[in-house]
């Protein structure tokens, strides 16, 4: 999946300030520090297109990146990290909720989950909201380089089991490592299919 171009377009404080919704777009969401910005860089083969940080709360606005002049990747602020101030968390959650509900060209939301963690209430609640609103999403288990492949398998199975308590079927799932570039082909193929659909 050749990337001919990947360009930063704009940072927006609100969904209604985003670019005209005239191209398909794919957005990345999840807890602060889960690796949303790093995953975008990995997908487009650019080290520093989206700004990353070891400190949670780095991405504070809705960031649009145009890929191959055909579709957008969107980096969002994270939700629900205790080290981010309560006011910021509230502000980010408002931006995120408004964005996912109001963006007509949003084809798929990638919900990122740290593959090391047990199922978290805020992630499960967020996905329940997506279900109620009919917003298509898939799950990306991040940072798999930090675990053995056996432990990754176990954690993902446990996650699926928990989700099946509230869902009839599981959404599409991906495993990624931004540092080892694992999962890039799978996600790009998935996006490519949806863009052409
Ligand atoms: P916010 O913008 O604060 O919501 O965070 P984010 O989800 O965009 O996370 P970001 O991409 O900034 O990454 C957070 C930290 O995790 C950084 O120190 C990254 O280097 C690290 N990181 C991200 N992805 C991976 C990965 O796949 N493997 C490893 N080992 N570290 C990762
Ligand atoms: Mg970020």
Task: Compute φ and ψ for 12, nearest 5 degrees.
Answer: -120, 140
Does residue 1 sit within a domain? no
User: Is 175 part of any domain?
Assistant: yes
Average pLDDT over residues 158-185: 97
Residue among 34, 35, 43 to mutate when testing ligand 1 (max atoms within 8 A of CB) = 35
What is the atom index within ligand 1 of the atom nearest the CA of 146? 30
Q: What value does the mean pLDDT take over residues 31-59?
A: 95
95: in domain: yes
Provide the residue range defining the domain that includes 80. 6-196
Q: What is the pTM of this model?
A: 0.97
Which carries the bigger pLDDT value, residue 81 or residue 94? 94
CATH code (residue 63): 3.40.50.300
The reply to whether 98 falls in a domain is yes
E-strand spans in the chain? 6-12, 25-30, 62-67, 71-75, 106-114, 137-142, 173-175
The DSSP symbol for 42 reads H
- This model of the complex carries an ipTM of 0.99
Q: Is residue 170 part of a domain?
A: yes
- Would you say the CB of residue 56 lies under 6 angstroms from ligand 1? yes
Query: Which is the closest atom of ligand 1 to the Cα of 57?
Result: 3
Checking if the pLDDT of 64 tops 80, the result is: yes
Is the minimum distance from the CB of 78 to ligand 1 under 6 angstroms? yes
The count of other CB atoms within 10 Å of the CB of residue 55 is 10
Count of structural domains, the chain: 1
């Amino acid at each position: 999946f050749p990337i001919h171009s990947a360009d930063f377009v704009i940072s927006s404080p609100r969904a209604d300030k985003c670019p005209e919704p005239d191209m398909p777009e794919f957005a990345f969401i999840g807890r602060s520090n889960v690796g949303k910005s790093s995953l975008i860089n990995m997908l487009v083969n650019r080290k520093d297109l989206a700004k990353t940080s070891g400190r949670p709360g780095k991405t504070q606005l809705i960031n649009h990146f145009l890929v191959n002049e055909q579709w957008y990747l969107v980096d969002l602020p994270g939700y629900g990290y205790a080290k981010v101030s309560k006011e910021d968390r509230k502000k980010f959650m408002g931006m995120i909720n408004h964005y996912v509900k109001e963006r007509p060209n949003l084809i798929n939301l990638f919900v990122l989950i740290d593959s090391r963690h047990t199922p978290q209430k805020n992630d499960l609640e967020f996905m329940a909201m997506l279900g109620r609103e009919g917003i298509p999403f898939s799950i990306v288990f991040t940072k798999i380089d930090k675990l053995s492949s056996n432990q990754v398998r176990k954690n993902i199975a446990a996650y699926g089991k928990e989700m099946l308590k509230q869902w009839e079927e599981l959404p599409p799932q991906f495993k990624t490592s931004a540092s080892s570039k694992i999962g890039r082909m799978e996600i790009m193929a998935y996006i490519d299919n949806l863009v052409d659909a």
